[in-house]
């Protein structure tokens, strides 16, 4: 199985860090914190596929566009990539062979929308945005979400796995074992958070979820406060990895609250990972969770359970991929 994440044990704090200045690379005492002057715009997103998604977002941000538009159009790039095995309709299916999609979006005014267990729609995050803008609700799921999408002009895509997803699924069927692994292929859910030129924050998250999940399983990605949270006074956070671990401690919301209480994005992400380690009864060596946060000053931080989580940062100095620090050394 091609999915996601692995791990080890022990603490160890990052005491070194890459600090990427907005216009230059600067070393600071924390090698894993991306520190920038308080300037906008900026967009950050999870994993290597974040680089291409950031390009889409940056077109909007650099032209003075809204963070909300940037985080939608940015992750649309990943959703449209049929070769991506963890986002959009090219994603690995559940154990019954269905690709089921989860996504959410949140703006600077705490407006939010989400879809869960959505099938055969290419851009779930855009459906989530319409749920936010056109309905009195926040979340639509399953057939109802699909019906809403179709009524709003989305097209029903063919029920067809991507060639690579089909190949890997057929391989998986031979044993039908469910053992989530960590970022082996280094591509996962995309969570994107951004600040636009006016200083407003927004975020989005979209995924095909864990490969070979039970049919009907919904992860953290469509759950506001778990995979994504935005508070325009403080900043925003997003999550990737095994959603069950993120949901049980309201990951993204927890991180924003930790930033509210004075932690830097990196410290907040690290504290959230430590809370998972403290509270979870699961074997965390078998899974990955990665958090990514951005505060109103334009500082970026990330932290993961395991080695291998990275994130893409785009500001006016360009687009770069940065390795996150991690708990199990
Ligand atoms: N968080 C996603 C989920 O649990 C998985 C991922 O990040 O790839 O569905």
Return the CATH number at 173.
Answer: 3.60.20.30
Mutate to test the pocket of ligand 1, among 92, 189, 223, 291 (most ligand atoms within 8 A of CB): 189
Beta strands across the sheet bearing 228-231: 228-231, 235-241, 289-295, 300-304, 325-326
* Residue 306 CA to ligand 1 centre (angstroms): 15
DSSP 90: G
The whole-angstrom separation of Cα 111 and Cα 132 is 7
List strand residue ranges (DSSP E) for 6-57, in order: 17-20, 25-31, 42-46
Q: Are residues 26 and 166 in the same domain?
A: no
Q: Are residues 4 and 103 in the same domain?
A: no
Mutate to test the pocket of ligand 1, among 45, 117, 210 (most ligand atoms within 8 A of CB): 210
Mean pLDDT, rounded, for 188-213: 96
Q: Are residues 24 and 114 in the same domain?
A: no
Q: Are residues 50 and 170 in the same domain?
A: yes
Q: Are residues 64 and 120 in the same domain?
A: yes
3 is in which domain, residue-wise? Answer: 1-30
Split into its structural domains, the chain has a count of 2
pLDDT tens by residue, 281-309? 888 888 899 999 999 999 999 999 999 99
Least confidently predicted of 12-21, 147-156, 187-196, 266-275: 12-21
DSSP 299: -
Q: How confident is the model at residue 187 (pLDDT cuts 50, 70, 90)?
A: low
Q: Are residues 9 and 85 in the same domain?
A: no
Q: Are residues 101 and 19 in the same domain?
A: no
């Amino acid at each position: 199985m091609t999915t996601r994440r692995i791990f080890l044990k022990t603490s160890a704090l990052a005491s070194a860090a890459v600090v990427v200045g907005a216009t230059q690379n600067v070393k600071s005492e924390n090698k894993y914190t991306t520190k920038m002057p308080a300037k906008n715009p900026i967009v950050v997103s999870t994993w290597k596929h974040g680089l291409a998604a950031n390009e889409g977002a940056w077109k909007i941000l650099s032209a003075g566009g809204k963070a909300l538009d940037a985080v939608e159009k940015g992750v649309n790039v990943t959703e449209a990539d049929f070769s991506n095995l963890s986002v959009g309709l090219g994603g690995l299916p559940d154990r019954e062979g269905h690709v089921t999609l989860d996504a959410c979006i949140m703006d600077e005014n705490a407006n939010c929308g989400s879809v869960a267990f959505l099938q055969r729609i290419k851009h779930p995050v855009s459906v989530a945005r319409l749920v936010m803008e056109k309905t009195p609700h926040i979340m639509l799921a399953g057939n109802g979400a699909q019906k809403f999408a179709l009524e709003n002009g989305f097209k029903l895509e063919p029920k067809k796995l991507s060639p690579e997803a089909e190949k890997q699924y057929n391989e998986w069927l031979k044993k039908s074992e469910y053992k989530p692994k960590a970022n082996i292929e280094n591509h996962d859910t995309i969570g994107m958070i951004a600040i636009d030129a006016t200083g407003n924050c927004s975020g989005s998250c979209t995924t095909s979820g864990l490969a070979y999940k039970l049919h009907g399983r919904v992860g953290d990605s469509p759950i506001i406060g778990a995979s994504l949270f935005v508070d325009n006074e403080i900043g925003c956070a997003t999550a990737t990895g095994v959603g069950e671990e993120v949901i049980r401690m309201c990951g993204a919301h927890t991180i924003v609250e930790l930033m509210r209480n004075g932690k830097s994005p990196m410290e907040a992400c690290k504290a959230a990972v430590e809370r998972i380690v403290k509270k979870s009864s699961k074997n965390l060596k078998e899974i990955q969770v990665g958090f990514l946060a951005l505060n109103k000053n334009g500082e970026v931080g990330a932290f993961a359970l395991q080695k291998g989580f990275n994130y893409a940062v785009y500001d006016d100095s360009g687009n770069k991929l940065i390795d996150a620090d991690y708990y199990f050394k």
